Amino acid sequence: MRHILIIGATSAIAEVTARRFARDGDRLYLVARNPERLESVASDLRLCGATQVETMVMDVNGTDRHVEMIAQAETVMGGLDTVLIAHGTLSNQQACEASFKETLRELQTNCLSVISLLTHVANCFETKKRGTIAVISSVAGDRGRKSNYVYGTAKAAVSVFLQGLRNRLYRSGVNVITIKAGFVDTPMTADFCKGFLWASSEKVGNGIYRSIQRKRDEVYLPWFWRWIMLVIRLLPEGVFKKTNI
C-alpha cells in the first residue's frame, strides 16, 4: 500500500491519477486551496476504495508551511512514499508582459513553490532511501514561445531542477519523474479552442499513474509530444524567432 501526498489535488489531471491510487486501496493526503472542492474529491476517493483520505487546505505559495504540511501528511498516514505535485496556473502572458509583479506571481506558483516542496520532500526521501516524486511539468518548458514564455520559463526551471534532483537521488533509490504534459482539456484550458492535439485528463492522468508504477524518469504525455518537441527544439533560433506557434 502506498502513502501518497498530492499537492493540487483538485487538478483535473491529478484527480484521475488519484482515483487509480484509490482503487488500489492506497492512503492519500490531499492538499489544495478550495475547501469545498477538496472535500468533494476526498469523498469520491474514499468511496473509490482508498484506505484513508485526509485533506489539508493550503495555498502552496505559503512556502513557510511546507515543512509542517509534509510532516503532517507523514504522521496521519503513518508514512509517506509517493508525492505528486500537480498544482499550477496558466499564466496570462499579456498581463505578465505588462507587469513584473504578475510575472513574479506566476513564477512563484508554478516554479518557486514547487522547488520549495521538492527541497523538503527530497531530503525526507533521501534519508529514507526510497520514494517516488512525480511532478507535472509541461512541454511549454521545452522551448520559449511568445505566446506563453512566462509559464514556459517556470516549467523549464522545474524540469531542469528535476533533472538535477533525479541525478542526485539516484544513489538513494529515490525515483524522480518529470511529466511533460501536452495540451490537456481541463478547467485550466477551458477557454481554448480544442484541436486534434488535445488529450483528455483521463488519458494524461492514467499515463501518470502508469509512469509512477513503472518508475519512469521523464515522460511525455501523450507520447507523441516527445517527437513534436524534438522537432521544435531542433529548429534553429534564426528560424524559430520568426514563427507564430
Applying CB under 6 A, which residues contact ligand NAP? 8, 10-13, 32-34, 37, 59-61, 86-89, 109, 136, 138, 181, 183-184, 186-189
Residues that bind another protein (CB under 8 A): 12, 34, 36-37, 40-41, 43-44, 47-48, 185-187, 190-191, 193-196, 198, 201
With CB under 5 to 8 Å by kind, the binding choice for 194 among another protein, ligand NAP, none is: another protein
Question: Grid cell 477551458 — which residue?
Answer: 190
- Sequence-distant (6+) residues with CB within 8 A of 32 are 7, 8, 9, 10, 11, 38, 41, 55, 57, 58, 87
Nearest distance from C-beta of residue 102 to ligand NAP, angstroms: 14
Q: Dig out the grid coordinates for 121 from the structure.
A: 520532500
Task: Please tell me the number of Cα atoms within 13 Å of 129 on its side-chain side.
Answer: 1
Question: Closest CB to ligand NAP among 32 and 134?
Answer: 32
Classify residue 95 as exposed, middle or buried by CB count within 10 Å of its CB (0-12, 13-18, 19+). Answer: middle
CB of 34 to another protein, least distance (A): 8
Pairing assessment for the beta strands 3-7 and 131-138 based on DSSP bridges: unpaired
Selection from another protein, ligand NAP, none that 97 binds (CB < 5 to 8 A by kind) is none
**Chain residue at closest Cβ approach to ligand NAP:** 88
Give the Cβ contact number of residue 1 at 10 Å.
14
Based on CB atoms, which residue is closest to ligand NAP, 40 or 243? 40
